[in-house]
Amino acid sequence: MKAVVYKEPYTVAVEEVSDPRIEDPTDVVIKVTTSAICGSDLHMYEGRTGAESGIVFGHENMGVVVETGPGVASIQKGDRVVLPFNVACGFCRNCLAGNTGFCLTVNEGFAGGAYGYVSMGPYRGGQAEYLRVPFADFNCLKLPPGDEHEDDFALLADIFPTGYHAAELARVSPGETVCVYGAGPVGLMAAYSAVLRGASRVFVVDRQPDRLRLAGRIGATPIDYSEVDAVEQIKEQTGGEGTDKGIDAVGYQATVAEGEEQPAIVLNNLVESVRPTGMLGVVGLYVPEDPGGPSESAQKGELLFRIGRFFEKGLRMGTGQANVKAYNRQLRDMIVSGRANPSFVVSHRVPLDEAPDAYQRFDRREDGWTKVLLKPWE
Contacts of 343 (CB under 8 A, 6+ apart): 149, 151, 152, 154, 155
84 binds ligand NAD (CB under 6 A): no
Nearest distance from C-beta of residue 148 to ligand NAD, angstroms: 25
Looking at residues 210 to 269 of the shown chain, list those that interact with ligand NAD (rule: CB under 6 A): 211, 225, 249-251, 253-255, 264, 266
186 binds ligand NAD (CB under 6 A): yes
Residue 224 near residue 206 (C-beta atoms within 8 A): yes
244 binds Zn ion (CB under 5 A): no
Residue nearest ligand NAD, CB atom distance:
184
205 binds ligand NAD (CB under 6 A): yes
Distances 323 to 42, 102, 204, 219 between C-alpha atoms, Å: 21, 8, 23, 26
Looking at residues 155 to 194 of the shown chain, list those that interact with Zn ion (rule: CB under 5 A): 158
Residue 369's SS3 state is coil
- The stretch near ligand NAD (CB under 6 A) out of 118-126, 179-187, 239-247, 340-348 is 179-187
d(CA 46, CA 4): 15
Strands 372-375 and 348-351: parallel
d(CA 229, CA 341): 31
Residue 42 or 64 with smaller CB distance to ligand NAD: 42
Nearest distance from C-beta of residue 1 to ligand NAD, angstroms: 26
Residue 209's SS3 state is helix
193 binds ligand NAD (CB under 6 A): no
d(CA 2, CA 15): 5
Q: Using CB distances below 5 to 8 A depending on partner kind, what does residue 251 bind out of ligand NAD, Zn ion, none?
A: ligand NAD
Residue 62 near residue 34 (C-beta atoms within 8 A): yes
Size of the site for Zn ion (CB under 5 A): 3
With CB under 5 A as the contact rule, the residue among 33, 34, 35, 40 that binds Zn ion is 40
Would you give the binding string for ligand NAD spanning residues 24-63, x where CB under 6 A is met?
--------------xxx-----------------------
